[in-house]
Amino acid sequence: NGNGYDDAWIEEATKVRGLSNLRTTPDALPKLLEKKNADMLLAQGVFTERELHSRYETQLENYVRTVRIEALTMADMAKKLILPAVAGYTARLANGLAAKKALAEAACGYETDVLTRLSGLEDEIYAAATALSKAVDTLDGLEGVTEGSAFVRDELIPKMDTLRTGCDEAETLTAAECWPFPTYGELLFGV
């Protein structure tokens, strides 16, 4: 009962109960090859030594391949859909701002604030998408599934999180009719 994701539970599980808290696939899968676990699986006839190592490598390869595809898709969506949508909306805002200022000394706080923030987000999203694409290129040059899975965990996923943060904020500032995807609300509550 309770929140299994709460920090208090993690502390109880790891410090009081002595359980492992293996948060990622590259952290968890090597446990399969630890002597006590391997001995048990071999003694019970679940796997042969060769099958055990094959299972380990296959699962890590699947992890790396899946996250690689997600990263490429994410960078592609940001560059081809999100950035053009944000750029189009900021252009629309800039034109409206210029028209208002040309007609009269009108207050343009909304347009100025949103335009400024979205322009900054455009640069952040572009930089994050570019960094993510470069990280995938680096991943492709790595030898070995263990090294690749550690790179995914330590480099690729944090870059994906950075890109997501910028895109999520841009979504909240971009007009709904300009945003290329359904909003979270539409996905959750739309029929």
Tell me the C-alpha to C-alpha distance, in Å, between residue 111 and each of 33, 52, 100: 58, 60, 10
96 torsion bin: left (phi>0), alpha (psi -120 to 50), beta (else): alpha
Across the chain, mean pLDDT equals: 93
SS3 at position 23: coil
Tell whether pTM > 0.85. yes
pLDDT digits (tens, 9 = 90+) for 26-82: 999 999 999 999 999 999 999 999 999 999 999 999 999 999 999 999 999 999 999
Residue 188 above 70 pLDDT? yes
Element (H, E) at 114: helix 109-140
Q: What pLDDT does residue 128 have? A: 98
- pLDDT for 3 equals 73
Please indicate whether residue 1 or residue 135 has the higher confidence score (pLDDT).
135
CB atoms within 10 A of CB 79: 16
Closest by CA to 112, choosing from 94, 92, 87, is 94
CA dist 25 → 57, 169, 190 (Å): 12, 29, 34
